[in-house]
Structure 1
Amino acid sequence: MSGLIKDVDFAVDERIWGHRLYDEQLPHLTVLEFLCVFGSNLKKPLVDGAADGVTYQPQRQFRLRELLFNNPIVEMVRGQAISDEDKWKRWAEIFKEESFNSRDEDMSYLRHVFSTFEDFARAIELLRSSAFEARSNKRWSSKFVFPFGPDALYEDLRVDAKGGASNDRRFFARTGELLYLMLSRAKNGPLLGQQLAERLFDSSAPMNRLVRAMQGEPQFASQPRMIPHHHLPYSELERFDQLCDDWLAILSLDMPVYDALEHLIAITGLNLLLYFLERAKAQLGDERPAELVCEIVSRERTKVRAISGESYHANQSLSPAAVRAAIEKVQKEPRWVEAEQSDHRSERCAEILHELFQWPPLGGANGKPGKALVDELIVSTLSRHEQHFGKIHSTWSRAIGLSSRRSSRRYRYAPNDALLKSLVVTIVPDRMQFDEFLTEAKRRYGIVIGDFEGNHLVTSKKIDQEALGDNRQNLEARLVGLGLVRRLSDSCSFVENPFGSKEMI
């Protein structure tokens, strides 16, 4: 798929990965943006049928986010020794004076929703405590309540000094839009759409009703948004199907949807990270699956640490190499060779680059040779790549608990307990033999832990079999400690999903 990518000077990263993956939009923010798109398409969720792309009109929910994140006076008034009536009056006066959006709003509806000011204050306290990054120093318009239901979803905003608000592309940078396109292109996308709508978009759910009481009628962006199909340059990929099937597996469990979201976010981050690595490898002509050699941290330093670090840093170098390869390979195309032999070679080469990467501007070749144009584009693209796309692997792997430099001077893959639990919840429907679990983790996500999965590393003498065997035992011990593995004998262990069937083995 190809098409004009607006608001970019040159589209190299976008041609490889889509418009756009963004390092500062961490997996939880990606899922929140995805849900905003999803909520506008509940009639046909995750159905990739529109000719031009996907349209959505996100909520803004000014009242809700101001009450939760731009309302420090509620605690002050709550603690004053005055009557309940005076507390309401005092709070309303100060809030109207200091708030951004509500100075022109009638907030008296809150008096009819909450019996007392104390109930109002407690509701705010409860919803604040559930928020993502509640204690961060982010501006109030970029803080997000937990997605309890359709009324709790809204887009990221930038608020200016004059009281104007516009959608911001820093934390909602379109990665959630890409996620929507990916899942809508998966084979089981429509099935996931139905299940997600039923489980997460129930407006009658108790916590959503509390959010609705706080917000009142929804507030929407003034204009709908369009996600063109060409923003995701692949019509189908196995990774899209795997991501979708992982969501379905988690949603099928006997688990409250609010708890399931934690695992959905982690497994989405892992799949998007692998998509990033796999597209880079494809651009480089490397057909081998992406691989994550993971150290299972134990009390003693392990031999796996060094090779895990090598695996991490090899993957970190993939994306800049892919960018360079994407640009350089144009010089091998027959039409490029023909262009360089023509009387107007500079203009012809520039036209080819513009067609592929939206650069240089039409008529902007300035007589430069084709090789000089290629070199200039590489330098500019790599400089831009380092700012955001190039940080995705390092930032997201830390965010999902996949990488760490604990007890080490450099990063390596060392999954934490939360990620290990999400892997079990996603992979194991009920129970699974431990070695089968390791094989499936390798098949789905390229995760290498034990000696069987890492046999090629032993064969190439990068590490010995005993070290990987010890790594395998360390994982088993970790999962036993987490209550996720039951040992029947020294040679027989089962991984158990705590939300699966409770039948005995």
Structure 2
Amino acid sequence: MREISCELYQENNLLSARAVESYISQIENFEEWQRAITESGAFARCRQILKDRVLWGEDYEGPNDPVILIKELRSAALKRHRQHVGNIHRNYGREVGLISKRGTIKLRYAPNDSLLRTLIFATVERRMELNQFLNQLYQRYNLIFSDKEAEQFLSKNEFDKKAFQANSHRLEQRLGSLGLLQRLSDGCAYIINPYNQKFHDKY
């Protein structure tokens, strides 16, 4: 479970950098660029393309070579990305309580108690059966806690039914300790919204 959580975090964390690289590769493969590199004055034409498309190249002081020019753009774009947008997934994830190093030395998806409460308040009006709640989290937010949702998302090689069943059981215990879950006499576990429950009980 923790390994999968770490892997998915790392994979998602790289998506924005891959998008930057993909966009620059598209510029390089555009017919306009490919035509420009074969023409007289190729460097000036290619630099103008970059100025027009990504507002970059005015301060470039390297060799007058389109290959090095696009290489420098890629390097500069990825460096700036790591300093700014590349941090959003990690920083925002930690701020909202979705990402932490709890139980590992690597960052992974591991929601804290505050986020779990928020998800319950946003999903459960008064009371909801646990499995229905977990399915709602998957349908709304692509969050996976139990084997039923994991089986829909993971490949057969990645899916470990017992591990996800154990994870679901740990979540049930955790929510119970927070006063957000009750197991009734019918044997079913229910997620409860204590604030809305109190409101309805009062009025």
Match in the other structure for 1:320: 17
Match in the other structure for 1:369: 65
Q: Give matches, 1:206-285, under 5 Å.
A: none
Establish whether residue 485 from structure 1 lines up as the match of residue 177 from structure 2: no
- CA positional deviation for 1:367: 6.6
C-alpha distance in 2, partners of 1:431/1:353? 56
Quick check: 2:147–2:165 contact (8 Å CA) kept in 1? yes
Q: Give matches, 1:58-73, under 5 Å.
A: none
Match in the other structure for 1:394: 90
Quick check: 1:485–1:496 contact (8 Å CA) kept in 2? yes
C-alpha distance in 2, partners of 1:498/1:378? 52
The DSSP-based 3-state class of the residue aligned with 1:486 is: strand
State the aligned residue count.
199
What CA RMSD, in Å, does the superposition of the two structures yield over aligned residues?
Answer: 2.3
Gaps of 5+ in 2: none
The DSSP-based 3-state class of the residue aligned with 1:432 is: strand
Q: Deviations over 1:379-438 (max 9, x none)?
A: 112222222322222222222221222332212111111110011111223332322221
Quick check: 1:365–1:373 contact (8 Å CA) kept in 2? no
C-alpha distance in 1, partners of 2:112/2:62? 53
Quick check: 1:346–1:369 contact (8 Å CA) kept in 2? yes
Match in the other structure for 2:44: 347
The DSSP-based 3-state class of the residue aligned with 2:191 is: strand
1:334 aligned partner, one-letter code? E
Quick check: 2:129–2:191 contact (8 Å CA) kept in 1? yes
List structure 1 runs of 4+ shifted beyond 6 angstroms: none
Quick check: 2:62–2:69 contact (8 Å CA) kept in 1? no
Given candidates 138, 143, 146, the residue that maps to 1:442 is: 138
Match in the other structure for 2:31: 334
- CA positional deviation for 1:465: 0.5
C-alpha distance in 2, partners of 1:478/1:397? 21
Establish whether residue 500 from structure 1 lines up as the match of residue 196 from structure 2: yes
Match in the other structure for 1:407: 103
Q: Normalising by structure 2, what TM-score?
A: 0.86
The DSSP-based 3-state class of the residue aligned with 1:461 is: coil
* Identity, % of aligned positions: 35
- CA positional deviation for 1:496: 2.0
- CA positional deviation for 1:461: 1.6
Given candidates 465, 473, 494, the residue that maps to 2:161 is: 465
The DSSP-based 3-state class of the residue aligned with 1:350 is: helix
- CA positional deviation for 1:458: 5.4
Cα distance change, pair 490–463 in 1 and its aligned pair in 2 (3 A) = farther
C-alpha distance in 1, partners of 2:62/2:76? 17
Cα distance change, pair 344–424 in 1 and its aligned pair in 2 (3 A) = same
- CA positional deviation for 1:377: 0.8
Quick check: 1:328–1:374 contact (8 Å CA) kept in 2? no
Q: Of Structure 1 and Structure 2, which has the larger fraction of its residues in helix?
A: 2
Match in the other structure for 1:426: 122
Q: Give matches, 1:28-177, under 5 Å.
A: none
Q: Normalising by structure 1, what TM-score?
A: 0.37
C-alpha distance in 2, partners of 1:489/1:451? 24
C-alpha distance in 1, partners of 2:169/2:62? 63
The DSSP-based 3-state class of the residue aligned with 1:494 is: strand
C-alpha distance in 2, partners of 1:443/1:340? 48
